[in-house]
A = this chain, B = another copy of it.
Amino acid sequence: MRVTDAEAKVMEALWRSSPLTAEQVIAEVAAGEGWSETTVKTLLSRLLAKKAIAAKRDGRRYLYRPRIERQAYVAAESRDLLDRLFAGKLAPFVAQFSEQHDLSAEEIEELHKLVAKLKSGDR
């Protein structure tokens, strides 16, 4: 069961900190996305229905927390993109991206360190 883009915005809030009440989630995302309160509540319900989050009763309200890790979501999205567009290979992705955008010296340095670490088998 896939988490949609709008739902992911709500997940991001919960990944940033949790548990949160619906009201707190609304405070985190509604204004930024230009959403009404009920929209956020709908998204919470759908996420609950697809078991992407859990809700624990706390008096008259619920406390929501993620049930899937951001790491897993990010990894799935990344793999999907790589598979669809780069035959699953990382290097071609990096190649095209660096061709399209001028990377800062810092970014390049960071990549360098990363690759060095990979070469040394340090993981």
Measured CB to CB, the residues of A under 8 A from B are 5, 8, 71, 74-75, 77-79, 81-82, 84-86, 89-91, 93-101, 103, 107-108, 110-112, 114-115, 118-119, 123
Contact = CB atoms under 8 A, between A and B. Distances in A.
Contacts of A114: 91, 94-95, 98
Given A96-B78, A97-B78, A118 B111 contact: yes
A5 B101 CA distance: 24
* Residue among A5, A74, A89, A99 facing the most chain B CB atoms (10 A cut-off): A74
Given A8-B84, A108-B115, A112-B115, 19 more contacts: A71-B96, A74-B85, A75-B96, A77-B81, A77-B85, A78-B100, A81-B81, A82-B97, A90-B94, A90-B98, A90-B107, A91-B110, A91-B114, A94-B94, A98-B118, A103-B118, A111-B115, A112-B119, A115-B115
